[in-house]
Amino acid sequence: MGGKPARDYYLTRRISGLWSSSRVRYLMTITSKRWSVAANIHFFDTGPFVFFYLVYTASRLSTA
């Protein structure tokens, strides 16, 4: 157990060092923005259909 905090500290130092480089931060912000936009579009495309399908199956189950 004694070696775990040191390893976590080393990993966080490496990750923060990578994160501090502007190129990685730029790529991360671009990818996160693209992912959020894609997720929003996907949700608005499929959300109503999934909702109606859930309501339909719930009514089928309640009447059965």
Q: What pLDDT was estimated at residue 6?
A: 75
pLDDT digits (tens, 9 = 90+) for 5-58: 777 877 777 777 766 677 777 777 777 777 777 666 666 667 777 788 888 888
Q: What pLDDT was estimated at residue 27?
A: 76
Does residue 61 carry a pLDDT above 70?
yes
Q: Say if CB 24 and CB 18 are below 8 A apart.
A: yes
* Domain spans in the chain, listed from the N-terminal domain onward: 3-63
User: How far, in Å, are 20, 26, 37, 49 from residue 34 at the CA level?
Assistant: 21, 12, 5, 23
DSSP state for residue 39 in the 8-state scheme: H
Q: What pLDDT was estimated at residue 20?
A: 66
Q: What pLDDT was estimated at residue 48?
A: 75
